Amino acid sequence: MLVRLEQRPEASKSMIYVSPLIAVVLTVLTAMVMFALLGVDPVKAIETFFIEPVSSLDGLAELLVKATPLVLIGVGLSLGFQANVWNIGAEGQLVIGALAGGGLALAFFDQQSIFLVPAMLVCGVLGGMAWAAIPAWLKTRYNTNEILTSLMLTYVGLLVLSYLVHGPWKDPQGMNFPESRLFHDSALLPILIDETRLNVGALIALFVVVLGWILISRHIIGFQIKVIGMAPMAASFAGFKEKRLIWLTLLISGGCAGLAGVIELSGAIGQIVPSISPGYGFTAIIVAFLGRLHPVGVLFAGLLMALTYLGGDSAQITMNLPNAVTGVFQGMLLFFLLASDVLIKYRVRFGAPKINTEAAE
């Protein structure tokens, strides 16, 4: 039988939401094949991966802790992506934001203050923004490609972190381990549920989702972002300033990443360690696309991606599978999502072309 792709007269609105679901289903099916080939019971593996991690209160709390940075960064990135500003360096902005906030905590390690945590959060945002400001300045001033500059700065950021924890910021009583002092209580985010790591950061992420939603759907800035992404000429015709929007979207996404960094540090880790994030900044790119570049979509996509982190851990522990499974899952998800997106503009038809007898116009 002949299978064809036929262009739809108008982009399908329902497919925009169905396509991520198709991608998830295909990912799970392919993963099962992969597990079978590895000689593992596919059903059990999927259960270990997707069900087991969230079958306890602790697991659910952990899911939200992992989803928090992904959602925060994802919302910021999605705004930039809609304006065709490709900030790939959220990981670096996360690290620098974490260092700015964490540095403040270390500077006041012997003082108790209820203002410390808010000040750390602000520093985190500013740190991330500062790191994102570099590609913004290079792009608006010298027309450099922000994909390259932001990505390269990620590695610079990681080296800054490495230098600080191995050098000046190392814990004097830490037996020479490359770690900072432990933060004291007033530098830690309040915990929401006792005995878990779930902290106020999750609520902050939720708030940012709502804020992002309002901005993109109702505010003139969101409108400008969408127009410049869809039709740059129309944006200049309307008088929107492209450079201003490049600055704005990079600062927003950098600030979100920095905030995520400091929340991770002061909410989940409690000290500065050589590896603050297991690649949240990169995974958030997938989160943003999986969430259709919409803040609410990003919320769900962030939860799903967080699950792949937990699932990877639990598969590693209980089934002895390599940790790379997480990366494979994330990669497949993005791959299938991009493939399924063809269905937004095209539909699958079987058989030979049929002549449509109704005339248009």
Choose the stretch contacting another protein; rule: CB under 8 A; options: 20-28, 29-37, 67-75, 235-243. 235-243
Interface residue with another protein among 5, 6, 55, 190 (CB under 8 A) is 6
User: In 280-309, which positions are buried (b, 16+ CB within 10 angstroms) versus exposed (e)?
Assistant: bbbbbbbbbbbbbbbbebbbbbbbbbbbbb
345 is a contact residue toward another protein (CB under 8 A)? no
- Angstrom CA distances, 241 to 137, 217, 219, 224, 236, stand at 15, 19, 16, 9, 7
CB 165 within 8 A of CB 180: yes
- What phi, psi does 346 have (nearest 5°)? -125, 160
- The mark string for 302-341 relative to another protein (x by CB under 8 A, - otherwise) is ----------------------------------------
Q: Nearest-CA neighbor of 76 among 265, 260, 263, 275?
A: 260
Q: Which of 144, 236, 275, 323 binds another protein (CB under 8 A)?
A: 236
Indicate the DSSP class of residue 191.
Answer: B
d(CA 115, CA 133): 27
Among 39, 167, 239, 351, contact with another protein (rule: CB under 8 A): 239
Counting contacts by CB under 8 A, is residue 231 touching another protein?
A: yes
Nearer to another protein, 141 or 354 (CB): 354
Give the residue from 100, 95, 69, 104 showing the smallest Cα distance to 263: 69
Any contact of residue 16 with another protein (CB under 8 A)? no
Q: Which of 137, 226, 303, 327 binds another protein (CB under 8 A)?
A: 226
The dihedral built from the CA positions of residue 33, 34, 39 and 40, taken in this order, carries a sign that is negative
Angstrom distance (rounded) from CA 108 to CA 181: 11
Shortest CB 88 distance to another protein, Å: 25
By CB under 8 A, tell whether 79 contacts another protein.
no
Of the pair 1, 233, the CB lying nearest another protein is at 233
* Residue from 64, 95, 120, 221 in contact with another protein (CB under 8 A): 221
Stretch that binds another protein, among 5-13, 57-65, 86-94, 301-309 (CB under 8 A): 5-13
Q: Which of 1, 114, 175, 359 touches another protein by CB under 8 A?
A: 359
For the record, the structure tokens of 31 come out as 């993963």
- Where on the chain is the footprint of another protein (CB under 8 A)? 6-11, 218-221, 223, 226-227, 230-231, 233-234, 236-239, 241, 353, 355-361
